[in-house]
Amino acid sequence: MIKYKLICKDCNIKFDSWFASSNEYEKLKKRKFLNCHSCNSLKVEKTLMAPKLINSKTKYETKFNTVKYQKIKKTIKNYQKFIKNNFKYVGDNFAYEARSIHYNNKKKSKGIYGSASTQDLKELKDEGIEAQIFPWVEDKEN
């Protein structure tokens, strides 16, 4: 069971109503079975949850996201380490270097990494050169 505070848009009265689920609320509303206890108007809406409830939820999610972000950051850093050890850094020349590998058929050349604009990536893709986009965390410790 779920309790909603409903508000009537016509007479502005607020009242609590119980539903089996949030789906049931939507279903009853669609079938026009929801009406105001005071004036019978069908313009009945759910009110927002109490602000206190929203605040505590937001706080919880922020904390959760920070933990999640730290984990992702660690994964990214591990990848970065791998890339740094196995690929050649070409900086902003990525598009140029990628083309040179592609057109000169340098199959034995080391993989490269660097930065490219979205326009560069689009053009490379049009030319049949695949590039992986990877999130990069700037590491101030190094």
Interface contacts to Zn ion, rule CB under 5 A:
8, 10-11, 36, 38-39, 41
Q: Which is nearer to Zn ion, 13 or 76 (CB)?
A: 13
CB of 7 to Zn ion, least distance (A): 9
Residues 37/54, Cβ–Cβ less than 8 Å: no
CB of 6 to Zn ion, least distance (A): 10
Q: Which is nearer to Zn ion, 8 or 95 (CB)?
A: 8
CB of 3 to Zn ion, least distance (A): 19
Which has the closest alpha carbon to 137: 79, 82, 90, 92?
Answer: 79
Q: Which is nearer to Zn ion, 11 or 50 (CB)?
A: 11
CB of 14 to Zn ion, least distance (A): 10
Q: Which is nearer to Zn ion, 14 or 74 (CB)?
A: 14
Which has the closest alpha carbon to 113: 81, 69, 71?
Answer: 81
Classified as helix, coil or strand, 55 is helix
Residues 19/4, Cβ–Cβ less than 8 Å: yes
Furthest CA-CA distance within the chain: 80
